[in-house]
Chain A
Amino acid sequence: MKRVWMLTAVLVFMSLALVACPGRGGGETGPIKVGAIFDLSGPTSDVGTPYAEGIQDFVKWLNENGGINGRPIELIYQDYAYQVPRAEQLYTEFVQQGVVVFMGWGTGDTEALRGRIAEDKIPFMSASYSHVLGNPAEAPYNFLVGTSYSHQFFIVLDWIVEDWRARGESGTPKVAFMHHPSPFGLSPWEQGGEKYARELGLEVQPFEMPRGATDFIPQLSQIRDFGAQYVVFQTVSSPAALALKNAKSLGMTDVTFICLNWCADEILIKLAGDAAEGTIGAFPFTPPTLDVPGMKDAREFLKAQNTTLEEKGVHYIQGWATMRVMVEGIRKTIAGGQALTGENIKAALESITNLDTGGVTVPITFTPQDHWGSKGMRLFKVENGQWQQLTDYLYVQ
């Protein structure tokens, strides 16, 4: 019988602990609740972890410096391991807890949630720059701070055409598109990218990078048979680095590899080493190799933590900058003397014109018809293990 008592005691304790925990709060003066989901343990956690730190640290920095008109931000967040059902579950839970805005992560989950977001009227900034999320007719409460994947792809394709001509080659180049096996990976291809490439007269073909693959030699061999001179990656750093290493071992030295923003980072160089040399990266957010005024706060904050921005990398800057734009919307709402409702914050965000991010991005502009906040980005190139600036800001034509 002892065991019965013991187990009963454990169960009773657990139920009590459960009852005690979640509560509700908020109001006109208390902390402002912001919901967030991060990928800290899933297939995109390599880039998800620094992004999450950027958001958390910005909130800490802001609260240390007086919050928004004296009101601190309470960030309610959890890891969702890149799983759509968990994202949906956590989103619902956090909205019930009274968050006024939400910081999301993946393409699959943000696209699936966009109907619910519009219904709940929760301004939502995701780290997914899927093009459709910037269209208020399709996703009225979603805002993109980074350049959309489709725009990134268009700009890269334009650059390829130019580069091809600059090399003095004739004919048209062949471009392989290697992508993550998810809505994220397919987003730029399906949302206008394939069509645009064909309009430019390029020969393009998509190649999926399978989940959990230990090498991409089969895909790269296919790409070699296809005869691509350029390979565009739409994936995160770890698989891209693996593919670069495989390409090196296959001797594909005459192929130019280009990363869209989620694999253009320091992690790629660290993981791929020599194989990363010569890789081109799309940077809607300025990496720490360029020191711009917009990074000053983050640099000082990190100095106090005995670390550096160089160590945290570009995705940290991205998280920091995205949260900053969201806070700007909240600040404008409060400054306008309005209640912190989703509708008011949305209107405040839509009134942001040419917001200066201190050189971290191009100036951000939202309008009621256009939630693509940034339409420009720079290309960088890996030289001697460092991202070096290759072009100035390029825009969608």
Chain B
Amino acid sequence: MECGVYFTTYKDDMALRRKPLEKLRLALFAALVVIFPFIASPYWLNLANQIALATIGAIGLNILVGYTGQISLGQGAFMAVGAYGAGVLTARLGIPFWLSIPIAALITAAVGVLFGLPSLRLKGLYLAIATLAAQEIVEWTVVHWTSLTGGVEAMVIPAPRILNMRLNTDFRFYWIAVGMAALTALFTANLFRSRVGRAFVAIRDQDIAAEVIGVNVYLYKLLAFGTSSFFVGLSGALLAHYRTIISWERFTLETSIVYLAMIIIGGLGSIQGSFFGAAFMTLLPAFINTAGRALQSTFPAIATVLPAVQQSIFGAIIIFFLIVEPEGLAKLWRDIKNYFYVWPFSY
């Protein structure tokens, strides 16, 4: 009878999916993901797409914050670069949408490296403030560089099409968003089994020790900023093509904080956690909204206070989850798995 997980070879220990049960769960999840769009209502498909895009962004941020230990408040800015990059490339330069997405992600990676430069000298809260500057600078640029971005006016970009088929319907875009999210997750999972990924983790755990064992801290920090921003930009570019209307309001400091909340609630340094956090932070406001709208028809008087109430409930639930499980939903999921793995003979 097993009472824990013990590996006898390094190969087993290093495997991406280590247990048969994990493989089964993955297969079940994949099957669910494939079946889902055929049974879900448009409302749910829309939420699923939002979750998939948020997952890409959250994984991107997790690479930087959770795995490499560099706090960033510039998430909204990097998403804006990705979104406006894709928007300008398609709407103004006429580049096809599928090409604009990788180019926009690469531009964001470059911008990320640029704003990552202060990290070479700054750590912790000081770095957070430096990235806050990135957020403000990019936001200001987007609002005031009117000839490029349209300024305060929202930028409308043509709907993505292939062979005259509109791809940004909820059903069709689902495959793009989920496919990209899966690729991002796969890439990141493998990244942290590689030399580069381990260097990131070494920097997070103790940067001086990392330097002593031969990790080029400067290089890897910038690399972490670049990799992270690439995925954040990817998320922004996909979002731009999905919604086709982009405006600066989507990429404010609030966005940065929501994404930080996502990875903290989901679990720092965990891909699963990024997904859980993204799902949680997308579904919770949707749930509160639906509940609010249902109440609104019964008690019309609450309509005016509803926005404020929703915000407070949102905050309260986040605090509740953080107190109950500070290591995030990923840890909770791990606990559940471990509990059942050895059930009923746990000790």
Residues of chain A whose beta carbon lies under 8 Å from any beta carbon of chain B: 1, 3-4, 6-8, 14-15, 17-18, 21-22, 24, 40-41, 49, 56, 76, 78-79, 81, 83-85, 88-89, 92-93, 96-97, 108-109, 111-113, 115-116, 181-183, 186
B-side binding surface: helix, strand, loop or mixed? helix
Residues of chain B whose beta carbon lies under 8 Å from any beta carbon of chain A: 41-43, 46, 152-154, 156, 243-247, 249-250, 283-284, 286-287, 289-291, 293-294, 300, 303-304, 306-308, 321, 324-325, 332, 335-336, 339
Determine the chain A residues whose CB is within 8 A of the CB of B156 once the complex forms: 112, 115
CA distance in complex: A89, B50 (Å): 11
Instruction: Tell whether, in the assembled complex, residue B325 and residue A85 are in contact, meaning their CB atoms are under 8 Å apart.
Output: no
Determine the chain A residues whose CB is within 8 A of the CB of B293 once the complex forms: 76, 78
Name which residue of chain A comes closest to B158, CB basis.
A115
Determine the chain B residues whose CB is within 8 A of the CB of A93 once the complex forms: 43, 46
Instruction: Tell whether, in the assembled complex, residue A18 and residue B247 are in contact, meaning their CB atoms are under 8 Å apart.
Output: no
CA distance in complex: A85, B42 (Å): 18
Looking at the complex, which one of A4, A6, A22, A41 makes contact with B336 (CB distance below 8 Å)?
A: A4
Instruction: Tell whether, in the assembled complex, residue B287 and residue A108 are in contact, meaning their CB atoms are under 8 Å apart.
Output: no
Nearest CB of B to A54, in Å? 14
Instruction: Tell whether, in the assembled complex, residue A17 and residue B291 are in contact, meaning their CB atoms are under 8 Å apart.
Output: yes
Instruction: Tell whether, in the assembled complex, residue B154 and residue A22 are in contact, meaning their CB atoms are under 8 Å apart.
Output: no
Nearest CB of A to B210, in Å? 35
Looking at the complex, which one of A3, A4, A41, A88 makes contact with B243 (CB distance below 8 Å)?
A: A88
Instruction: Tell whether, in the assembled complex, residue A41 and residue B42 are in contact, meaning their CB atoms are under 8 Å apart.
Output: no
Can you report 27 A-B residue pairs in the complex whose CB atoms are below 8 A from each other? A1-B335, A3-B325, A4-B332, A6-B324, A7-B321, A7-B332, A14-B283, A21-B291, A22-B41, A22-B290, A76-B293, A79-B303, A79-B306, A79-B307, A83-B247, A83-B249, A84-B154, A84-B249, A93-B46, A96-B43, A108-B153, A112-B154, A112-B156, A113-B245, A116-B244, A183-B153, A186-B152
Q: Top 5 A-B pairs ranked by shortest CB distance?
A: A112-B154, A84-B247, A41-B307, A21-B290, A85-B250
Looking at the complex, which one of A22, A85, A181 makes contact with B247 (CB distance below 8 Å)?
A: A85
Nearest CB of A to B188, in Å? 25
Assuming the A-B contacts A78-B289, A85-B243, A88-B243, are A7 and B153 also in contact, with contact meaning beta carbons closer than 8 angstroms in the complex?
A: no
Instruction: Tell whether, in the assembled complex, residue B41 and residue A112 are in contact, meaning their CB atoms are under 8 Å apart.
Output: no
CA distance in complex: A84, B252 (Å): 13
CA distance in complex: A112, B308 (Å): 27
CA distance in complex: A181, B151 (Å): 10
Determine the chain A residues whose CB is within 8 A of the CB of B300 once the complex forms: 56
For the complex with contacts A24-B41, A85-B250, A115-B156, 19 further pairs of A-B residues with Cβ separation under 8 Å are A4-B335, A4-B339, A7-B321, A18-B290, A22-B290, A40-B304, A41-B307, A79-B306, A79-B307, A84-B247, A85-B247, A96-B43, A109-B154, A111-B153, A111-B154, A112-B156, A112-B245, A116-B244, A183-B153
Determine the chain B residues whose CB is within 8 A of the CB of A40 once the complex forms: 303-304, 306-307
Instruction: Tell whether, in the assembled complex, residue B43 and residue A112 are in contact, meaning their CB atoms are under 8 Å apart.
Output: no
Nearest CB of A to B46, in Å? 7
Determine the chain A residues whose CB is within 8 A of the CB of B250 once the complex forms: 83-85
Determine the chain B residues whose CB is within 8 A of the CB of A76 once the complex forms: 293
Name which residue of chain B comes closest to A97, CB basis.
B43
Determine the chain A residues whose CB is within 8 A of the CB of B245 once the complex forms: 84-85, 88, 112-113, 116
CA distance in complex: A18, B48 (Å): 13
Assuming the A-B contacts A4-B336, A182-B152, are A17 and B287 also in contact, with contact meaning beta carbons closer than 8 angstroms in the complex?
A: yes
Instruction: Tell whether, in the assembled complex, residue A41 and residue B308 are in contact, meaning their CB atoms are under 8 Å apart.
Output: yes
CA distance in complex: A225, B245 (Å): 40
Nearest CB of A to B140, in Å? 12
Looking at the complex, which one of A15, A21, A113 makes contact with B294 (CB distance below 8 Å)?
A: A21
Instruction: Tell whether, in the assembled complex, residue A3 and residue B154 are in contact, meaning their CB atoms are under 8 Å apart.
Output: no
CA distance in complex: A310, B249 (Å): 35
Instruction: Tell whether, in the assembled complex, residue A92 and residue B46 are in contact, meaning their CB atoms are under 8 Å apart.
Output: yes
Nearest CB of A to B75, in Å? 16
Determine the chain B residues whose CB is within 8 A of the CB of A109 once the complex forms: 154
Instruction: Tell whether, in the assembled complex, residue A7 and residue B325 are in contact, meaning their CB atoms are under 8 Å apart.
Output: yes
Instruction: Tell whether, in the assembled complex, residue A81 and residue B307 are in contact, meaning their CB atoms are under 8 Å apart.
Output: yes
CA distance in complex: A183, B290 (Å): 30
Give the interface centre of B42, B152, B324, B335 by most chain A CB atoms within 10 Å: B152
Nearest CB of B to A316, in Å? 14
Instruction: Tell whether, in the assembled complex, residue B152 and residue A183 are in contact, meaning their CB atoms are under 8 Å apart.
Output: yes
Determine the chain A residues whose CB is within 8 A of the CB of B324 once the complex forms: 3, 6-7
CA distance in complex: A109, B156 (Å): 11
